[in-house]
């Protein structure tokens, strides 16, 4: 611990801040799926230049919440069954591959800790925190792959997943969420690779089915 820990200057650009803000708004439903992000309108409303909004939206594109169409600008992604499946398939592939590896003790600790925090959040009934801890749990599983690049990739899926998890939270009780994750954790702790893989698959399948029903 240095005497300077935590001391930081505002090391970020306006565009980055705008991207973060817009991201939140989209998650919160301020823009519906398929809506266009009109640059001049946003620029005027927020009192920044259109340039800056364009940069912000380019950054947003990285998170996958928005995509560019030539001459139509940025459009909020619309969830389709195919897209949901594509997203969850990627997740399933990563997590099952991760579950096949033999975890180091500190990795298991991290997953356990994430699970405990998820349980806490569920007890409090704080939806946004549940979603947050849910994502952290899965991130910790992916971390078993020992690949920073894949960790980053999973992080880049996070915003999209957060959107869907928020949707799901409306049809699942916090207890159900905890239960689903507990079986995965147990299998991992026991070192039962096959069962871990099976549970992860089941978890993904259930989620996809529910999402399709809720959104389609």
Partner DNA sequence: GACGCTCAACTGTAGTACAGTTCAACTGTA
Partner DNA sequence: TACAGTTGAACTGTACTACAGTTGAGCGTC
**Binding segment for DNA among 9-17, 100-108, 160-168, 198-206 (CB under 7 A)?**
9-17
Distance between CA 160 and CA 65 in Å, rounded?
A: 6
3-state SS assignment for residue 69: strand
Q: Distances in Å between the alpha carbon of 93 and those of 97, 154, 204, 210?
A: 6, 11, 10, 19
Residues 138-197 interacting with DNA (rule: CB under 7 A): none
Smaller CB separation from a copy of itself, 124 or 205: 205
**Binding segment for DNA among 41-49, 115-123, 168-176, 177-185 (CB under 7 A)?**
41-49
| Contact (Cβ atoms closer than 8 angstroms) between residue 17 and residue 46 | no
Q: Which does 73 bind (CB under 5 to 8 A by kind): a copy of itself, DNA, none?
A: DNA
Q: Which does 14 bind (CB under 5 to 8 A by kind): DNA, a copy of itself, none?
A: DNA
Give the residue, chosen from 27, 48, 108, 150, that forms a contact with a copy of itself under the rule CB under 8 A. Answer: 150
Between the two ends of the chain, the Cα-to-Cα distance in Å is: 51
70 binds DNA (CB under 7 A): yes
Task: Collect all residues with Cβ–Cβ distance below 8 Å to 122 and sequence separation of at least 6.
Answer: 130, 174, 175, 177, 178
Binding letters toward a copy of itself, positions 120-149, x by CB under 8 A: -------------------------xxxxx
């Amino acid at each position: 611990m240095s005497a300077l820990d935590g001391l930081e200057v505002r090391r970020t650009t306006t565009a980055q801040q705008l991207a973060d803000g817009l991201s939140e708004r989209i998650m919160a439903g301020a823009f519906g799926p398929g809506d266009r992000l009109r640059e001049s309108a946003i620029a005027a409303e927020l009192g920044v230049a259109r340039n800056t909004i364009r940069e912000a939206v380019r950054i947003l594109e990285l998170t996958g919440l928005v995509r560019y169409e030539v001459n139509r600008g940025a459009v909020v992604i619309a969830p389709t069954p195919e897209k949901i499946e594509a997203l969850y398939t990627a997740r399933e592939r990563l997590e099952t591959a991760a579950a096949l590896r033999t975890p180091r003790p500190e990795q298991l600790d991290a997953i356990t800790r994430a699970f405990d925090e998820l349980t806490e959040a569920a007890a409090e009934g704080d939806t946004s925190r549940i979603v947050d801890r849910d994502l952290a749990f899965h991130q910790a599983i992916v971390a078993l792959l020992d690949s920073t690049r894949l960790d980053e990739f999973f992080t880049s899926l996070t915003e999209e997943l957060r959107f869907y998890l928020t949707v799901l939270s409306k049809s699942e009780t916090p207890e159900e969420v905890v239960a689903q994750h507990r079986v995965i954790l147990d299998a991992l702790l026991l070192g039962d690779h096959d069962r871990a893989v099976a549970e992860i698959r089941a978890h993904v399948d259930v989620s996809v089915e529910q999402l399709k029903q809720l959104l389609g």
